[in-house]
Amino acid sequence: MNTYDDDQVGRARVADSPELLAYYDELAQLDAGALWTVANEIEPWYPQPKSVPVLWRYRDLRPLVAKALAMVKAEDAGRRVVMLVNPGRKEHSAAVGLLYTGLQIMGPGESMSAHRHAAAALRFVHEGTGAWTIVDGQKLKVGPGDFAITPNGTWHEHGNESHDAPVIWQDGLDIPLTNTLDANFYEIHPELHQRPGPVVNSSVLSHGANLLPYGLEKWTRPYSPVLGYPWEPSYQALRNLAKATGGSPYDGVIMEYTNPLTGGPVMPTMGAHLQLLRPGQRTRAHRHTGSVVYTAAKGRGVSVIAGQRLPWQQGDIFCVPSWAWHEHANLDPNEDACLFSFNDFPVMRSLGFLREEAYPDHDGHQPVADRQP
């Protein structure tokens, strides 16, 4: 067992000296440096995320989001979005780790122009019934609780066809990842708008009940051919699973939105889950690599993250940094509670970085300052 002590064989522990400082200057002249001056920092004992747990309350954010409707024109803003910024990740405009999230508002009758980018996007609808998006020529209508994807490289545009109420949906993107990898591209649609096919929600209609379309052209893109996952059947799937299994000790009854052609995540850089906490259920803590943005989709509860108690109710958003202990509880004794979440687990999995462990003490529960759940 390692002691996490940097003053032992196997760690760098070279003291500065005038000779060494002069030597370091020489190295710097050649765009070089001495590894041992930074080794312990860049080879930490365990992940040292700069992200911290944050809770964004919908009741706090909503008024400010609504304000943007009046203050900026959608087309001047590109998209009218209030982004959620982790205090430790301001320079990346990240909500946690390399994930971006924000609340986008579209007024009645508004629509945006079409563009595409290497960054992948997803949407989770908070309110409003008039939302639509066109992704690579396919029109989707989405309502509260619906989840939709806009994969890397797909043309997209969206709007609100309601006559009287705004739409607020949550965007999730891997922009910080894409930029960190020096791989982002952006393009405006040459005609500013796509011409969608005649069938709305066609990919949703085409995939269901564990059957797949046959005899058509083979789908070869690295993301799900299903562009939308409506709330109702998703929630129903979760309820059905709850009849069949006890679920995970750390997450309750949890499912992943998947690409039905692979059983894998919806996109190669971001995955998404929907989970159900039974009335009064309290999960045990675990931690793992990978960052997660959670949105309370139904009910009310509390999550303890890195020892901090974050109470939430429908619409609230919070995040779990990589390797932070976390556990969840449903505070309602009669109703189930649901959390939608998205994450960078596909990245961690592809690159071989997934690691997980259970919280070993106190029956799986972290100590918190003000412990109530």
- Distance CA(233)–CA(241), nearest Å, equals 12
Nearest to 308 by CA among 47, 94, 51: 51
Task: Specify the amino acid at residue 271.
Answer: G
* CA–CA distance, 288 with 307 (Å, rounded to integer): 15
Which residue, 193 or 371, is less far from a copy of itself as judged by CB? Answer: 193
Q: Residue 295 has which token pair?
A: 């949105």
**Does residue 136 touch a copy of itself according to CB under 8 A?**
no
Q: Is 53 in the site for a copy of itself (CB under 8 A)?
A: no
Q: Minimum distance between the CB of residue 190 and a copy of itself, rounded to whole angstroms?
A: 8
Interaction between residue 263 and a copy of itself (CB under 8 A)? yes
Give the residue, chosen from 16, 21, 76, 164, that forms a contact with a copy of itself under the rule CB under 8 A.
76
Which residues, including other chains, have CB under 8 Å from residue 282's CB and lie 6 or more apart? 327, 328, 329, 330, 365, 373
Burial class (CB in 10 A: 0-12, 13-18, 19+), 356: exposed
**Residue 313 interacts with a copy of itself (CB under 8 A): yes or no:** no
Is 373 an interacting residue with respect to a copy of itself (CB under 8 A)?
no
Nearest to a copy of itself of 249, 371 (CB atom): 249
List the one residue from 184, 311, 314, 335 that touches a copy of itself (CB under 8 A). 184
Piece of 159-167, 263-271, 299-307, 308-316 that binds a copy of itself (CB under 8 A): 263-271
369 makes contact with a copy of itself (CB under 8 A): no
Q: Which is nearer to a copy of itself, 61 or 122 (CB)?
A: 61
Closest CA to 250 of 212, 213, 208, 288: 288
Please tell me whether residue 250 binds a copy of itself under the rule CB under 8 A. yes
Contact window for a copy of itself (CB under 8 A) among 261-269, 308-316, 325-333, 357-365: 261-269
Residues in the chain: 373
Q: Tell which residue, 117, 161, 119, 124, has the closest CA to residue 139.
A: 161
Q: Which helix (H) or strand (E) holds 131?
A: strand 131-135
81 binds a copy of itself (CB under 8 A): yes
Q: Which two tokens stand for residue 94?
A: 């990240």
Binding to a copy of itself (CB under 8 A) within 205-244 occurs at 205-216, 222-224, 226, 229, 233-234, 236-238, 240-241, 243-244
Phi-psi region of 172 (alpha: psi -120 to 50; beta: other; left: phi over 0): beta
User: Closer to a copy of itself at the Cβ: 30 or 369?
Assistant: 30
Per-residue interface string for the shown chain with a copy of itself, residues 314-353, x marking contact by CB under 8 A: -------xxx--------------------x--xx-xxxx
Burial of 21 (0-12, 13-18, 19+ CB in 10 A): exposed
Angle at 170 between CA 52 and CA 70, to 5 degrees: 110
Terminal-residue alpha carbon distance, the chain: 33
Is residue 191 close enough to count as binding a copy of itself by CB under 8 A? no
Report if residue 139 touches a copy of itself, rule: CB under 8 A.
no
Q: Which is nearer to a copy of itself, 9 or 164 (CB)?
A: 9
From 16, 21, 42, 369, residue interacting with a copy of itself (rule: CB under 8 A): 42
DSSP lists the bridge partners of residue 179 as: none
Rounded to whole angstroms, the Cα distance separating 115 from 336 reads 39
Nearer to a copy of itself, 5 or 164 (CB): 5
Q: How far apart are CA 33 and CA 35, in angstroms?
A: 6
Q: Shortest gap between Cβ of 110 and a copy of itself (angstroms)?
A: 14
Using CB under 8 A, which residues numbered 140 to 169 contact a copy of itself?
152-153
87 counts as binding a copy of itself under rule CB under 8 A: yes
